[in-house]
């Protein structure tokens, strides 16, 4: 039995968002560049053969080179930080 990867597994392996992986797989499939070992089941779920990962990785690299400004803004991680002020001097908190 051949090992196949889900889009989430490919996303972790290739360090790319799942939507970019999905777009790569969909476009490569439409162009007929994926092997017969990779297939879609259900509505949008893919099982991708290891032999196709290099093609997907190359598609992502080309896509990122062409759309670097779009990806840079969408992949930026947003972090929130809570700043707590120290108690004011002379406050009666420890009574």
What are the tens digits of pLDDT across the range 13-43?
Answer: 998 889 999 999 999 999 999 998 988 888 7
Question: Which of helix, strand or coil describes residue 41?
Answer: strand
What are the tens digits of pLDDT across the range 43-69?
Answer: 788 999 999 999 999 999 998 888 766
Of 70, 60, 74, the closest CA to residue 24 belongs to: 60
Do 52 and 37 touch, CB atoms closer than 8 A? Answer: yes
Taking the domains of the chain in order of start, what are their residue ranges? 7-67
User: 43-57: string of b/e by CB count within 10 Å (b at 16+)?
Assistant: eeebbbbeebbebbb
pLDDT band at 10 (very low <50, low <70, confident <90, very high): very high
How far apart are the C-alpha atoms of 91 and 95, rounded to whole Å?
10
**Residue 94 in this model has a pLDDT that exceeds 60:** no
């Amino acid at each position: 039995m051949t090992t196949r990867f889900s889009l989430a597994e490919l996303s972790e392996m290739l360090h790319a968002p799942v939507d970019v992986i999905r777009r790569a797989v969909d476009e490569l499939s439409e162009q007929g560049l994926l092997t017969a070992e990779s297939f879609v089941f259900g509505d949008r779920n893919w099982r991708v053969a290891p032999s196709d990962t290099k093609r997907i990785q190359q598609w992502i690299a080309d896509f990122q080179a062409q759309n670097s400004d779009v990806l840079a803004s969408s992949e930026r991680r947003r972090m929130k930080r809570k700043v707590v002020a120290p108690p004011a001097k002379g406050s009666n908190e420890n009574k």
